[in-house]
Structure 1
Amino acid sequence: MKSTSFIQVDLRADGILVLTINREAQYNALSIATMQQLEQLLTQAKSQVGLRGILLTGAGEKAFVAGADINEFKMLAPSESRAFAERGQRILQLLEQMPVPVVAAINGFALGGGCELALACHIRIASENAQLGLPEVKLGIIPGYGGTQRLTQLVGKGRALELMLTGNPIKAEEALRIGLVNRVVPAEQLLPTCFDLLGSMLERAPLALTKVLQAAAAAQVGGSAGYEAEAAAFEDCCQSEDFREGVQAFVEKRKPSFKGQ
C-alpha cells in the first residue's frame, strides 16, 4: 500500500498498518478527497495479506482531525447534502467493520468529523492535550457521519445529548471519565502506548479477534441478533486450528503459536 496525497501509509513488519491523516496545516481536516483516499486505503487493507491491526492518527502535535473541511461545506448544495452524509457514513462503517483491531491515537483536537472518525475506531487512546466534541450545532447542522448514533451507544443518551446539543468540546480527562476514550496518556507516550496495546492483541488468536469484533458489532442491532452472532462465532472458533493450539499450549504451559486458521 502506498501513501496518498493526504494520508501517510506505513505497514509495519508486525502487521500493524499506520494511517496518518496528513494535512497538518489544515489541522488534518477531512476534505472530500481525504475521505475518498481513506475509503480506498481501507478497501485495500481488508484484503491485505498479513494485516493484524490498524493505528489511525493525525500529523503534527495539535490535531487528530479537527473536523470536516468547512470551505467545502460552504460550496455544498442542499440537494447534495444527504448524499454527502451517506458517503461519510459508508466510509466510517467500513472502518468500524474492519476485521482487525483499529486503534485511534488522538493526538490533539478531535472535533466534528474528526470525533466521528475516532468513534468509528474500536478503541480510542488520547493524549493529555486532546479535546473531543461534536460542535456541529454551532454551524446550524448536526453530526452526519454516524456521530449521533455511535456517541449515544458509547456514553449513553444523556451525556451524548449534552455534548451534541451544546456543541462544547471536552478535555481528555473528562472524555475518559464518561467512557468516550479508553485511556489518557502524556503526548510522548501516545504512540508507544497504542503500539503496546495492539502488540498485546497480536499475541492472541487472529480468528478469535475477528469474531469478537463481529459479535460486538452485532450488539448494535438489538434483540437477539448479538447473542445469535456470538453463538455462531463461538462455534466457528471451536472448529479452528487456533482453538486446538490454544488449548494444547495451555495444557503444556507454553506460549501458543496461532496461525489465524
Structure 2
Amino acid sequence: MPATELCVIHPGALSASCWARLASHLPAGTPVRVLELETITRFWGNDPGLTVEELADRLRGRLGSSRAPRVLVGWGVGGVVADALATPARRVIVLDGAAPGALHAEPGEAQRLRSFAMYVGARRGRVLNLDAERLSLAHIAEGAVAAGALREDTALATIERCFEQHSARVLRDHRLTASYTPSGSPLTVVKAARSLVADSRALGWDRFGPVEVLGSGGDHYSMLTDDSAAVHLAMLLRRWLAPAYSSAA
C-alpha cells in the first residue's frame, strides 16, 4: 500500500517552512504536501466575498486524485477548509482552529493584541513575558525587545503596521469561519496549551459532529515553531501515518 500522504492547509502568517521541521520527525518516507492559502489571490487580497467552500474547490483541484490514503491537516482557519475537503477516506485534523460560533463576536482589540504577542514571539522562537492588564503595542514592543524577539531600535510605527496586517488576517479568518457550515464529519482537534480559544475544550467543533480532542504544547503559533512542540505534534500525527505505531499505542 502507498504511504499515507500528509496534506497540510497552511493559511500563512508563519512561513510554510515550519512544516519542514515537523516533517523531519514523521515516519521516514512520509509524503508531505503543503497547500498555501496565500497563493490564492482572493484569500491573500482579503476579498470579502470569498467563502470556505470556494477555497476548498481551489484546493480540491490541486490535490487531484490519488491512490494513496491522505490525512488532511488544517492549522487555524485552514481547519475549516480541511473540513470542507473531508471525505470518508480522509482523516481531518484541525490544529487550534476554531469552529464557527466558537468566538461569539468578532475578535476585539484585546484578543488581537494577545494573538499578536504570540505571533511576534513565535517568529523568533521566544516567549514574551507580558502583563495581561497592561497589554498594548508599546508593552508588547517592550516585552519583545526584552525577550530578544525584536531589536531595540525597532520603531513603534513599524510594530503598528505589523499589527494592522495581523489584525486584517485575524478578522478575515474570523469572517471566513463564521460564514461556514461544518460538514459534521468526524475529526480530531489538536488544541494548543495556550490556545486562542482557551475556554472551549473542543474549540466549538463538538457542536457539529464527533470530535476527538488532543493537546499540544505551545500557543497557537509556537505549536508549529517551537522544537519540542513540533516533535510532540509529529508524535500525535504518527498514529495516522504509521500503522505499527498506532497499534502499539
Q: TM-score, normalised by structure 2?
A: 0.36
Q: Give the structure, 1 or 2, with the largest relative contact order (CA under 8 Å, sep 6 or more).
A: 2
Q: Give TM-score scaled by structure 1 length.
A: 0.35
